[in-house]
Structure 1
Amino acid sequence: MTIDSAVAQLLSLDPKETTVSGSGGSSFSSTSKITTKLGDGNEKQFFMKTGSGKEASVMFEGEHASLSAIHNAVPTLCPQSYGHGTLADSPSKHFLVTDFLDLSGRRGSSTSSSAPSLAAKLAKLHSTPAPPPPGESSPKFGFPATTCCGETPQDNSFKSSWAEFYTENRLMFILKRSEKTNGPDEDLRSMIEKTCKKVVPRLIGDDHLNGGKGVTPVIVHGDLWSGNASAGKLPGMEAPEDIVFDSSACYAHSEFELGIMKMFGGFGGSFLKEYHELLPKTEPAEEYTDRVALYELYHHLNHHAMFGGGYKSGAMSIMRNLISRYGD
């Protein structure tokens, strides 16, 4: 397969020295491996996603921004993204190009004794303060691009308050998405509104966390379930290291990351022990488990918005428990 001229131009590749081969895919996109011979005779590989329509364009723009933010903070944690755009030969299709990731190992079993673990890399990521938005003097919660968690394009408009961002940009936002796809649901709306009004300020209010100091926005992957983490080699690596991909980033409370990690499992007690030795739990630490449950709630609601079915019961269970503890 020949390389599209828009991709070749983005990467400054010679089409005569470049081939494109299929490399699997997902429900959202098709994937390919680009192999090219450089001027010095060495071979280099890239990974490309393609998809159709405006949805793919939005998704790839967000993933490019996500990977770039993560890579800038911890270069060995994720593939570098080289750009996104529209295919010249198929103007209805869009693309994203990143480093090719050789998934040749099992997460946690790096053959490089000097390579940091996923817990260490994630702790470093979550210790890196977000940059201020353009024209602002201090960091804010949000992100400069729309990012997609699954197929959901998220509202990442900036907020100064973490509690406000989580209420408006995550819980109330995903309720509206759910009502659009599944129809009105008075019980679900009532529980989410009560959670936003009572539980959010009590558990993650800016005047409550860290003794009233609040939390600093940091970059989070945003969709870090076990299927988006593996071990592999990026360019320049001699041995596999723990890597993440398919990110849906935003600048958030670091513990927000742990919600989806808990929902789908795959990150055991030893991972969390190492992670929190490097990055202690937010105070009050005794409410940590409930904060993670509150953050897990968003992902149950997002899956309900995308797929319907039994995800509502998981969300309702979390809310009933949190409201019983913090709803008075």
Structure 2
Amino acid sequence: MIPNSFKTYLTKHFNENITQISPIHGGDISKAFKIDTATNSYFLKLNNRPDAKALFQAEAYGLNSIAHTNTIKTPEVLVCDRFHNTAFLLLEYINSKPSSGNDFKRLGTQLAQLHGCTSDTFGLKLDNFIGCLPQSNKHYNDWASFYFNERLLPQINLAKQKGLLKNAECPNEKQIETRLKELLKAVRPSLLHGDLWSGNYLISEDGTPYLIDPAIYYGHHEVDIAMTKLFGGFDTSFYNSYHSYFPITPESSDRLEIYLLYYLLVHLNLFGSSYHSAVTSILQKQF
């Protein structure tokens, strides 16, 4: 639970007494709590990893960046700091509800509007994290080069270092680069959530979509759509709404699979061999 000294610190910040602290389960990286006072509720993340403050700062930057587009909401960032040896992130608490078809339709529309926010280059002015793994965001003018150097190659190399992939299971770098340059053409940089699975959005009680736990950068809009499909996909009304803004093209299926490969590699590196067959299947098929 939360140390009494930290409760005292939070009480001074809220300028009112805490009435209840409730653990929230489901996160793989940080401990999470709902903090209630007489007038408000807050969401608190705690983590004592050495890089935890940097991880939370990147998350806060992502939440604020998305919020500033005025396309889709994120919880308000209240405090990102360190208390003794523990980093913490304090956010507005969103009372949520199960998603209806209309909610998914609104989510699809607002995600498309987020993807309408563009940049001159791919990447971001700072690096961040995907899960707890570092994610480099160096600027590139060419999407295929960015995706190869900043996304696929680091995760493939990490998997090899961990003994999770063998050299014989991976195409050589030239094969990968050539395939990406064939397929990833004429891409416009879009602001991405970067880790959009079903656990990283909320629908508030009034039906407003919120995005949480972002790993933002400017990339191809289809990357976010690929991630939504990793664990079974969203409701069809989400995709129908989204694709009214960004239509599917004949190459979309292959691109989505290659974009999904990044997230499968991340899961392989984070959670181990249960993702091995999915990774090697795409590597063999696409390259």
TM above 0.5: yes
Instruction: Identify the residue that residue 193 of structure 1 maps to in structure 2.
Output: 173
Instruction: Identify the residue that residue 61 of structure 1 maps to in structure 2.
Output: 57
The alpha-carbon deviation at position 101 of structure 1 amounts to 1.2
TM-score (norm. length: structure 2): 0.88
Q: Tell me, in whole angstroms, the C-alpha distance in 2 between the residues paired with 1:280 and 1:174.
A: 29
- Say which is worse superposed, 305-314 or 174-183, in terms of deviation: 174-183
Secondary structure in 1 matching 2:139: coil
Alignment-mate amino acid for residue 147 of structure 2 = Y
TM-score (norm. length: structure 1): 0.77
- Say which is worse superposed, 291-300 or 65-74, in terms of deviation: 65-74
Instruction: Identify the residue that residue 211 of structure 2 maps to in structure 1.
Output: 244
Q: Is the 8 A contact 2:72 2:111 kept in 1?
A: no
Match of 2:88 among 89, 92, 95: 95
Residues 78-120 of structure 1 deviation map (CA, whole Å, 9 limit, x = unaligned)? 2122331101xxx21001111101123325354xxxx971100
Q: Tell me, in whole angstroms, the C-alpha distance in 2 between the residues paired with 1:241 and 1:18.
A: 27
Q: Tell me, in whole angstroms, the C-alpha distance in 1 between the residues paired with 2:55 and 2:269.
A: 17
Alignment-mate amino acid for residue 250 of structure 2 = E
Match of 1:258 among 218, 221, 225: 225
Instruction: Identify the residue that residue 126 of structure 1 maps to in structure 2.
Output: 115
The count of residues paired between Structure 1 and Structure 2 equals 283
Q: Kindly indicate whether residue 17 of structure 2 is the aligned counterpart of residue 17 of structure 1.
A: yes
**CA radius of gyration, larger in:** 1
Map 1:116-195 → 2, pairs under 5 A: 117-130=106-119, 139-182=120-163, 185-188=166-169, 190-191=170-171, 193-195=173-175
Residues 285-306 of structure 1 deviation map (CA, whole Å, 9 limit, x = unaligned)? 2111111111011111111111
Residues 302-323 of structure 1 deviation map (CA, whole Å, 9 limit, x = unaligned)? 1111122132221221122223
Secondary structure in 2 matching 1:191: coil
Unmatched segments (≥5 aa) in structure 2: none
Instruction: Identify the residue that residue 270 of structure 1 maps to in structure 2.
Output: 237
Q: Tell me, in whole angstroms, the C-alpha distance in 2 between the residues paired with 1:181 and 1:74.
A: 41
Alignment-mate amino acid for residue 54 of structure 2 = V
Q: Tell me, in whole angstroms, the C-alpha distance in 1 between the residues paired with 2:97 and 2:48.
A: 30
Residues 198-248 of structure 1 deviation map (CA, whole Å, 9 limit, x = unaligned)? 2111101xxx32xxxxx3322111111122223224xxxxx1323321221
Q: Kindly indicate whether residue 283 of structure 2 is the aligned counterpart of residue 319 of structure 1.
A: yes
Q: Is the 8 A contact 2:144 2:177 kept in 1?
A: no
Residues 164-216 of structure 1 deviation map (CA, whole Å, 9 limit, x = unaligned)? 1100010111122222333662123x426255222111101xxx32xxxxx33
Instruction: Identify the residue that residue 194 of structure 2 maps to in structure 1.
Output: 222
Q: Is the 8 A contact 1:191 1:316 kept in 2?
A: no
Q: Tell me, in whole angstroms, the C-alpha distance in 2 between the residues paired with 1:5 and 1:157.
A: 41
Identity %: 26
Going from structure 1 to structure 2, the CA distance change for 1:161 and 1:6 (only over 3 Å counts) comes to: farther
Q: Kindly indicate whether residue 76 of structure 2 is the aligned counterpart of residue 80 of structure 1.
A: yes
Unmatched segments (≥5 aa) in structure 1: 38-42, 131-138, 210-214, 234-238, 324-328
Q: Tell me, in whole angstroms, the C-alpha distance in 2 between the residues paired with 1:13 and 1:201.
A: 52
Q: Is the 8 A contact 1:108 1:242 kept in 2?
A: no
Alignment-mate amino acid for residue 303 of structure 1 = H
